[in-house]
Amino acid sequence: MTAVDELLAGARAQLRRVGPERAAELQAEGAVVVDIRPQADRVAEGEIPGSVIVERIVLEWRLDPAGTHRLTGLTADTPVIIVCNEGYASSLAAADAQRLGLPHATDLIGGFRAWKSAGLPVATGGSPALP
C-alpha cells in the first residue's frame, strides 16, 4: 500500500460516506454540497444543481466554521458533502473539514460521475468558484 493509499484509507475510516441518492436526499434536507472539481471538468461534465463551487486550494478557509472567510451561514452543525470527480480527493477534503470542526462533513462515493450515472439532475457547468 502506498503512502497516499494509507492516507485515503485513514480519511475514509472516519467518514460516513454517502452514495448519490442519499446525497440528493441530504441536499434536499439542507446539506451543503461543495464541488471542488476544476472548472474544466465542471464545464465538460456539468454541475450538481445548487452546489457551491469552491476551489480545493481555498477549501479549508471556506469551511472553517470559526473563520472569517467561511461560507455564509456555515456552522459546526452544517452537514457538508464534498464532491470531486470520482470520490478520492473529496475523501481527503472531507477528513480535513472534520478536523476543522465540521463533524458532519463527508463525501460522495464515486464523486460527480456517480451522481450523473445515477440519473440525478445535472446543470450546465462553468459556474465561477467562490473567491
pLDDT tens column, 25-61: 999 999 999 999 999 999 999 999 999 999 999 999 9
What's the pLDDT band for 86 if we cut at 50, 70, 90? very high
Tell me what pLDDT residue 131 has.
Answer: 83
| pLDDT greater at residue 86 or residue 131 | 86
Domain residue limits at 101: 3-117
For residues 53-77, one letter each, b for 16 or more C-beta atoms within 10 angstroms of the residue's C-beta and e for the rest, the string is bbebeebbebbbbeeeebbeebeee
CA distances from 114 to 1, 27, 58, 75 (A): 25, 16, 25, 28
| The total number of structural domains that make up the chain | 1
User: Does 127 reside within a domain?
Assistant: no
Higher pLDDT, 21 or 131: 21
Q: Tell me the mean pLDDT in the region 120-127.
A: 96
* Domain CATH number, residue 93: 3.40.250.10
129 domain-assigned: no
Q: What is the pTM of this model?
A: 0.96
